């Protein structure tokens, strides 16, 4: 029964590689998207759905977290090709029915590719797999909640359960979910962010006192210089290209720092402007630094060093001395450390010529307002937190934080991943949040930190956790060390997936498994109190309403809010019956005086009207407004077109809520990743035709790859050194300090102009290569962008 992920996908046989495209978007992009939409939804439904995408009266795109322009500046079609694909994937007319599960056993499903699973359509009925069975059977909602409640109540400690969240969940569902989990008695709230921007949150909180980006869309558009570092916006945040184009039109410049010459950064044709469809497009990047994987810490140190040298040569002309004196701490130690920077080390770490860094430094000196944007190319490395702290150091030197047109811009992934964090989805929420949550609901939230993603896998592997609940996402496919993770999940007593679409996490399960089908962002959500809206927060801290517009995929579907509240009500009822004890609050809702109240295990249930909250989400927002700063007047603010901006002290007032009250310069040791002879560094990336583990197709158009996903991109000079050639078939073998060899079988080599010694291949196929224990210092994020591998020719 324990079948491994399929290594050979029969439909993924050949494919071709033609090298990177020289431009991105334009006609093929939109035509491609509409083609996919029509195939999944039919023409009428496609146009009706896409018309409301990212409009004030419509729904928020379930794709990425890039912000929408203010309502007066929105296009009639304010979406991109990949947003349209995300919508088509959700609004598909295909259905996964009980008959489907009668036909396909779990063993069968575990042998299918992620692409095949996703293509089967929307989940429409709650399904239960009992212990020992290899099939899911339909189950009623109440019975499903009863199964979960019984398993949760039987645990020796609430910490034996893990509650994962992926970043599409609405603010309302996320808030109730963390409330339920904390009232149940644990902080085990791992989320996709642990694998994503955790390093950004850690570094920014330490240095500027808040783990979020400090710029708005308007800031971005008025910057003089935008550095796009470790990010592939043409595929992953296509609407960002429109903003970058505006930067160019206003005379600003853009620099791309990336081991791959990503097409979108080179040239862009805007499908929303007629000239973009017919014209030559805009050349976006003024400079492209083809950096070695993991070389960014060295690059930012080298840049800052050049600024310090320039200041030395012409005192008082380079650094923002007023800002440094009034708002920062730690400058002297930082400057002293940079004086020891070794050019030779920088050259090895970055693979860049000194002249390239000089050119960038000259651009920096010429720019008054600078923004640095980044994504997974910075966050998924062992030294990721240090690298992002260096980005902050670099910006602080010239006062590039907390004034218009300047700042830090970590570009988030999932459409509400930032909102979920704001709502308390985090295994380490600060005490101030827990205090207010406890006061609002008259209970005492647990204080000890919970498990993040990597620790949750370890806990399941080691038998310290045996119930897994996933609010969205695809845990077994998105996480590292697939073989270890799948075994960990299979050792659980119960696994529960609250999902829209079928994926590998429904096939690789605990002894007992449940699928709870949920409404997606595109669908109308009607509750006892009438039609509901939910709210989301974008990558720049702006919160707005999202209203589904199409009919639900099936009558049995429930909203995430309804599922979470149903689960909570059932669990606390079961706990009450199980303990045979009285609720720890009296009828009036006052907290019990019993000192045992402080012990979460002794709590039975907080005073919450779960059904009432599910009936009308305005009641949920009223609680959020009282618990979370920045949400006062929530209900009134979300009816304003475009929503409202959450407070951000550095952006709003140059206020830094660090222990010293100042922005912090940090000292970060430069470690150079040296690759043993015969080996390469591998980064695992997204193709143009996927959304994380959801595979839309097998092309990666902008990189010129057609019809294949099991490919590895390698520099031709490295191929020559390794005695390999374009088209060769190889296994990817990762080597790690634990001595274990992790193997991904049968990849085809594509000769590609990536940085020397730096290969690239797609995830999730390559997650088997990422060692569980290979994580970033302090953020514990898996190092998905720097794996030491060798290529073994297939016999
Ligand atoms: N269509 C679509 N949209 C998406 C997603 C999707 O899968 N599909 N995923 C969403 C999610 S959850 C996220 S987090 C974002 C991810 O957005 P990205 O971070 O853009 O996604 P990746 O494909 O991981 O690309 C990483 C980029 O960083 C570069 N890079 C890798 N290592 C390094 C390095 O060491 N230094 C530098 N300078 N560059 C490096 C890679 O070459 C690549 O261009 O996108 C979101 N949007
Ligand atoms: N090797 C490697 N691994 C990585 C990464 C990498 O770059 N390299 N990137 C990491 C990153 S940045 C991230 S964010 C994670 C992503 O990890 P996850 O967020 O766990 O994965 P997704 O593939 O986005 O999850 C897709 C599933 O979510 C469900 N879903 C979709 N929409 C909804 C909805 O509205 N509600 C609910 N309840 N369910 C829904 C569907 O069932 C779908 O199959 O992967 C990480 N893993
Ligand atoms: Mo992400």
- Cα 519 to averaged position of ligand 1 atoms, centre (Å): 27
Q: Is residue 47 part of a domain?
A: no
Please choose from 232, 285, 390, 417 the residue to mutate so as to test ligand 1's pocket, defined by most ligand atoms within 8 A of CB.
232
Q: Which of 36, 127, 152 is nearest to 493 (CA)?
A: 152
DSSP symbols for 109-148: HHTS-HHHHHHT-EE-S-EEE-TT-SS-EE--HHHHHHHH
pLDDT band at 22 (very low <50, low <70, confident <90, very high): low
26 pLDDT higher than 50: no
**Domain end point (choices 375, 390, 415):** 415
- Cα 166 to averaged position of ligand 2 atoms, centre (Å): 6
**Which of ligand 2's atoms lies nearest the C-alpha of 471?**
38
Torsion of CA 569, 572, 578, 579, to 10 degrees: -150
- Is the Cβ atom of 406 under 6 angstroms away from ligand 2? no
623-635, pLDDT tens digit by residue? 999 999 999 999 9
- Cα 177 to averaged position of ligand 3 atoms, centre (Å): 20
44 pLDDT higher than 70: no
pLDDT band at 604 (very low <50, low <70, confident <90, very high): low
Provide the CATH number for the domain around residue 437.
3.40.50.740
- Is the Cβ atom of 505 under 6 angstroms away from ligand 2? no
Provide the CATH number for the domain around residue 294.
3.40.228.10
Question: Which has more confidence, 204 or 56?
Answer: 204
User: Using the 8-state DSSP alphabet, how is residue 75 labeled?
Assistant: -
Structural domain harbouring 712: 680-793
pLDDT score at 596: 32
Q: Are residues 281 and 373 in the same domain?
A: yes
Ligand of minimum distance to the alpha carbon of 65: 1
- Is the Cβ atom of 692 under 6 angstroms away from ligand 2? yes
Cis peptide before 764 (omega within 30 of 0): yes
pLDDT band at 77 (very low <50, low <70, confident <90, very high): low
**Domain end point (choices 596, 616, 644):** 644
**Which of ligand 1's atoms lies nearest the C-alpha of 82?**
1
Across residues 517-530, what is the average pLDDT? Answer: 97
Looking up tokens 């990422």 gives 770
Across residues 207-221, what is the average pLDDT? Answer: 97
Please choose from 92, 168, 177, 454 the residue to mutate so as to test ligand 2's pocket, defined by most ligand atoms within 8 A of CB.
168
- Cα 472 to averaged position of ligand 2 atoms, centre (Å): 8
- Cα 621 to averaged position of ligand 2 atoms, centre (Å): 26
Give the binding-site residues of ligand 1, using a 6 Å CB cut-off: 63-64, 82, 196, 229-232, 235-237, 257-260, 262, 291, 293-294, 296, 375-377, 381, 413-414, 683, 685-686, 690-692, 785
Across residues 497-524, what is the average pLDDT? Answer: 97
Cβ proximity of 668 and 338 under 8 Å = no
Longest dimension (CA), the chain: 77
Q: Are residues 391 and 424 in the same domain?
A: no
Q: Are residues 434 and 462 in the same domain?
A: yes
Across residues 551-557, what is the average pLDDT? Answer: 97
Look at the chain and report how many structural domains it folds into: 3
pLDDT band at 8 (very low <50, low <70, confident <90, very high): very low
Q: Are residues 229 and 164 in the same domain?
A: no
Cβ proximity of 479 and 5 under 8 Å = no
**Which of ligand 2's atoms lies nearest the C-alpha of 500?**
42
pLDDT score at 605: 75
Q: Are strands 512-517 and 127-129 parallel, antiparallel or unpaired?
A: antiparallel
Neighbouring-strand partners of residue 339: none
Cβ proximity of 350 and 302 under 8 Å = yes
> Which pair of tokens denotes residue 386?
């240090």
- Cα 478 to averaged position of ligand 2 atoms, centre (Å): 6
331 pLDDT higher than 60: yes
Q: Is residue 25 part of a domain?
A: no
Q: Is residue 85 part of a domain?
A: no
Provide the CATH number for the domain around residue 782.
2.40.40.20
198-210, pLDDT tens digit by residue? 999 999 999 999 9
**Domain end point (choices 379, 396, 415):** 415
- Is the Cβ atom of 497 under 6 angstroms away from ligand 2? no
- Cα 378 to averaged position of ligand 2 atoms, centre (Å): 19
Task: Give 372's contacts (C-beta < 8 A, 6+ positions apart).
Answer: 226, 227, 229, 391, 394, 395, 408, 409
> Which pair of tokens denotes residue 286?
């003024």
- Is the Cβ atom of 787 under 6 angstroms away from ligand 2? no
Residue nearest ligand 1's atom 1 by CA: 236
- Cα 532 to averaged position of ligand 2 atoms, centre (Å): 25
**What percent of the chain has pLDDT above 70?**
89
Q: Is residue 58 part of a domain?
A: no
**Which of ligand 1's atoms lies nearest the C-alpha of 230?**
39
Ligand of minimum distance to the alpha carbon of 477: 2
Across residues 329-354, what is the average pLDDT? Answer: 98
Across residues 438-454, what is the average pLDDT? Answer: 96
Please give the mean pLDDT across all residues of the chain: 91
Give pTM, 2 decimals.
0.94
- Is the Cβ atom of 500 under 6 angstroms away from ligand 2? yes
Across residues 207-228, what is the average pLDDT? Answer: 97
Residues lying with their CB under 5 A of ligand 3, a single-atom ion:
196, 413
Looking up tokens 């960002």 gives 240
Ligand of minimum distance to the alpha carbon of 744: 2
584/496 Cα distance (integer angstroms): 28
- Cα 297 to averaged position of ligand 2 atoms, centre (Å): 28
Q: Are residues 257 and 213 in the same domain?
A: yes
Q: Is residue 617 part of a domain?
A: yes
- Is the Cβ atom of 20 under 6 angstroms away from ligand 2? no
705-727, pLDDT tens digit by residue? 999 999 999 999 999 999 999 99
Residue nearest ligand 2's atom 18 by CA: 473
- Is the Cβ atom of 501 under 6 angstroms away from ligand 2? yes
Q: Are residues 219 and 367 in the same domain?
A: yes
Q: How far apart are the first and last CA of the chain?
A: 29
Q: Are residues 134 and 267 in the same domain?
A: no
Q: Is residue 61 part of a domain?
A: no
Burial environment of residue 72 by CB neighbours within 10 A (0 to 12, 13 to 18, 19 or more):
exposed
- Cα 375 to averaged position of ligand 1 atoms, centre (Å): 6
Please choose from 83, 166, 378 the residue to mutate so as to test ligand 2's pocket, defined by most ligand atoms within 8 A of CB.
166
300-324, pLDDT tens digit by residue? 999 999 999 999 999 999 999 999 9
- Is the Cβ atom of 767 under 6 angstroms away from ligand 2? yes
Ligand of minimum distance to the alpha carbon of 376: 1
- Is the Cβ atom of 560 under 6 angstroms away from ligand 2? yes
- Is the Cβ atom of 168 under 6 angstroms away from ligand 2? yes
pLDDT band at 1 (very low <50, low <70, confident <90, very high): very low
661 pLDDT higher than 80: yes
- Is the Cβ atom of 473 under 6 angstroms away from ligand 2? yes
Q: Are residues 212 and 326 in the same domain?
A: yes
Q: Is residue 72 part of a domain?
A: no
DSSP symbols for 516-564: EEB--TTB--EETTEE--EEEE-TTSEEEEE---B--S-TT-B-HHHHH
Across residues 217-229, what is the average pLDDT? Answer: 97
Across residues 567-577, what is the average pLDDT? Answer: 94
pLDDT score at 519: 98
Q: Is residue 83 part of a domain?
A: no
Q: Are residues 405 and 442 in the same domain?
A: no
Q: Are residues 706 and 638 in the same domain?
A: no
Residue nearest ligand 1's atom 30 by CA: 377
Neighbouring-strand partners of residue 161: 467
pLDDT band at 51 (very low <50, low <70, confident <90, very high): confident
- Cα 191 to averaged position of ligand 2 atoms, centre (Å): 10
pLDDT band at 76 (very low <50, low <70, confident <90, very high): low
Q: Are residues 176 and 301 in the same domain?
A: no
Residue nearest ligand 2's atom 42 by CA: 501
Q: Are residues 301 and 379 in the same domain?
A: yes
């Amino acid at each position: 029964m324990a079948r491994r992920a399929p290594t050979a996908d029969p439909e993924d046989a050949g494919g071709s590689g033609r090298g990177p495209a020289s431009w991105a978007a334009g006609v093929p992009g939109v035509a491609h998207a509409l083609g996919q939409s029509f195939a999944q939804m039919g023409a009428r439904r496609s146009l009706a759905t896409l018309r409301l995408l990212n409009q004030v009266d419509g729904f928020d795109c379930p794709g990425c977290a890039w912000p929408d322009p203010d309502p007066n500046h929105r296009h009639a079609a304010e979406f991109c090709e990949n947003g349209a694909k995300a919508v088509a994937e959700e609004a598909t007319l295909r259905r996964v029915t009980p008959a489907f599960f009668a036909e396909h056993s779990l063993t069968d499903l575990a042998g299918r590719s992620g692409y095949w699973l996703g293509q089967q359509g929307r989940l429409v009925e709650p399904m239960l797999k009992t212990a020992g069975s290899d099939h899911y059977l339909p189950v009623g909602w109440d019975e499903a909640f009863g199964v979960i409640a019984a398993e949760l109540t039987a645990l020796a400690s609430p910490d034996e359960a893990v509650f994962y969240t992926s970043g599409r969940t609405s603010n309302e569902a996320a808030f109730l979910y963390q409330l339920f989990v904390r009232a149940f008695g644990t902080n085990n709230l791992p989320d996709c962010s642990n694998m994503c921007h955790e390093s950004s949150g850690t570094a920014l909180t330490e240095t500027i006192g808040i783990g979020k980006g400090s710029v708005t869309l308007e800031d971005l558009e008025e910057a003089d210089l935008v550095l796009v570092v470790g990010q592939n916006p043409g595929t992953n945040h296509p609407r960002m290209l429109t903003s970058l184009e505006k930067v160019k039109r206003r005379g600003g410049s853009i620099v791309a720092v990336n081991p791959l010459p990503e097409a979108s950064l080179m040239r862009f044709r805007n499908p929303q402007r007629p000239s973009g469809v017919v014209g030559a497009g805009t050349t976006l990047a003024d400079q492209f630094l083809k950096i070695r994987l993991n070389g960014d810490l060295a690059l930012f140190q080298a840049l800052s060093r050049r600024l310090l040298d320039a200041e030395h040569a012409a005192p008082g002309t380079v650094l923002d001395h007023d800002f440094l004196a009034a708002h920062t701490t730690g400058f002297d130690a930082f400057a002293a450390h940079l004086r020891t920077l070794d050019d030779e080390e920088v050259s090895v770490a970055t693979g860049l010529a000194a002249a390239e860094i000089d050119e960038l430094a000259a651009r920096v000196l010429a720019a008054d307002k600078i923004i640095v944007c980044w994504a997974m190319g910075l966050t998924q490395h062992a030294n990721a937190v240090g690298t992002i702290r260096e980005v902050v150091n670099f910006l602080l030197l010239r006062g590039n934080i907390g004034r218009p047109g300047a700042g830090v811009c970590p570009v988030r992934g999932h459409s509400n991943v930032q909102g979920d964090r704001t709502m308390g989805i985090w295994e380490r929420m600060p005490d101030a949040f827990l205090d207010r949550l406890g006061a609002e609901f008259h209970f005492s939230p647990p204080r000890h930190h919970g498990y993040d993603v990597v620790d949750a896998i370890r806990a399941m592997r080691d038998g310290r956790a045996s119930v897994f609940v996933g609010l969205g996402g695809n845990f077994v496919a998105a996480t590292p060390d697939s073989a270890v993770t799948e075994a960990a999940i299979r050792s659980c007593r119960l696994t529960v997936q609250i999902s829209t679409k079928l994926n590998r996490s429904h096939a690789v399960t605990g002894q007992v498994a449940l699928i709870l089908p949920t409404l997606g962002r595109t669908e109308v959500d009607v509750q006892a109190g009438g039609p509901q809206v939910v709210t989301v927060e974008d990558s720049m801290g702006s919160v707005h309403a999202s209203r589904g517009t199409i009919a639900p995929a099936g009558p049995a579907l429930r909203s995430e809010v309804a599922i979470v509240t149903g689960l909570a009500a059932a669990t606390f009822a079961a706990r009450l019956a199980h303990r045979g004890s009285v609720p720890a609050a009296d009828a009036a809702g006052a907290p019990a005086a019993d000192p045992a109240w402080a012990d979460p295990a002794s709590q039975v249930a907080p005073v919450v009207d779960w059904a009432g909250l599910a009936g009308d989400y305005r009641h949920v927002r009223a609680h959020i407004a009282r618990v979370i700063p920045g949400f006062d007047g929530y209900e009134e603010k979300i009816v304003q077109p475009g929503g409202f901006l959450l407070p951000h002290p550095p952006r709003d007032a140059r206020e830094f809520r660090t222990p010293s009250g100042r922005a912090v310069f940090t000292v970060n040791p430069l470690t150079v990743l040296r690759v043993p002879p015969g080996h390469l560094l591998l980064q695992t990336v997204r193709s143009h035709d996927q959304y994380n583990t959801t595979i839309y197709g097998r092309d990666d158009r902008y990189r010129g790859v057609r019809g294949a996903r099991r490919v590895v991109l390698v520099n031709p000079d490295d191929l020559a050194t390794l005695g390999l050639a374009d088209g060769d078939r190889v296994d990817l073998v990762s080597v790690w300090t634990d001595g274990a060899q992790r193997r991904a079988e049968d990849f085809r080599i594509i000769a590609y102009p990536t940085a020397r010694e730096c290969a690239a291949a797609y995830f999730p196929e390559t997650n088997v290569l990422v060692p569980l224990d290979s994580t970033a210092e302090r953020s514990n994020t898996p190092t998905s962008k720097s794996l030491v591998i060798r290529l073994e020719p297939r016999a």
